[in-house]
Amino acid sequence: MVVTNTQIEQWLKEDLGHHDVTNEVPGETTGQLVANEDGVVAGLEPARAVFEYLGVELTDGVSEGDRIEAGETVLAVSGPAQAVLRGERVVVNIVGHASGIATLTRQAVTAAQEVSDGVRIAGTRKTTPGLRGIEKRAVVAGGGDTHRLDLSHMVMVKDNHIAELGLEAAISHFRERVSFATQIEVEVERPQDGRQAAEAGADIVLFDNMSPDEVERGVSLLDNMALAEASGGITLETVPAYAKTGVDIISMGSLTHSAPSCDFSFRTGK
């Protein structure tokens, strides 16, 4: 379940305010969520949940991850006019935000795979509080990988851990405390530190804030001892250069924190 009824109630209450008369429209109506630009659609599951919560019938729609064109209807509904109007702005905002993430992710995946068809594009934990589930699913809709969904999914040994414990001791410290099924990823800031991390037991080595040349050197020194990930300031324009380095994963915080929202309109009429 992407969203709960409590979340939907909060979204609707936030938009409705204390006293609104604009939704006090009698009768039945239909509504269509229409794309105003090309892109990749996402956020349909929570959008449908909003309308279902309001008792609005869903009559048609496209599928999550579909490519859409300007003018295309992605979701159609029918029901009480008051309920349709109450849900439309929340739905437009959710689908627009999620589709922006999916569209940017698809562009990054395409750019990477034109160079290396084996590299994965992944999101990060740089998500909007309360919307992580929607945003992570939008990354998947765009063809990307979720990366870890929360802190419990994988141990990430970062610079502060290494500063406190030392690289090898930090890996050993966390290895003793996690399940055998939990992977350990180690963030390194120098190409040569990747091999040291792998020899100490890292499953994944993250080459952080390095140039493509530095990442390529780190991957070469790693010699397939662990999965290799590049991250830190990577943009749509620089994705191809990092894809050439031989890394297995390119993670991009910009997929969720900087994706422009896709433009949608909601049109009603009997």
pLDDT 10s digits, 2-18: 788 888 888 888 777 66
- Statement: residue 106 has pLDDT above 60: yes
Q: Does 136 participate in catalysis according to the annotation?
A: no
Distance CA(55)–CA(23), nearest Å, equals: 15
**pLDDT of 11:** 86
pLDDT by residue (tens digit) across 139-160? 999 999 999 888 888 999 998 9
Return the pLDDT at 14: 79
Residue ranges of domains in the chain, CATH in brackets: 5-109+259-268 (3.90.1170.20), 116-257 (3.20.20.70)
Residue from 69, 62, 15 nearest 43 by CA: 62
| Positions of E strands within 50-167 | 57-61, 67-68, 73-80, 120-122, 155-157
Give tens-digit pLDDT for 155-185.
999 989 999 999 999 999 999 998 988 999 9
What's the pTM value of the predicted model, to 2 decimals? 0.91
- The catalytic residue among 126, 136, 158, 244 is 126
pLDDT in tens, 35-75: 999 999 999 999 999 999 999 999 888 999 999 999 999 99
Cα–Cα distances in Å, from 112 out to 43, 71, 143, 216, 225? 24, 29, 12, 15, 23
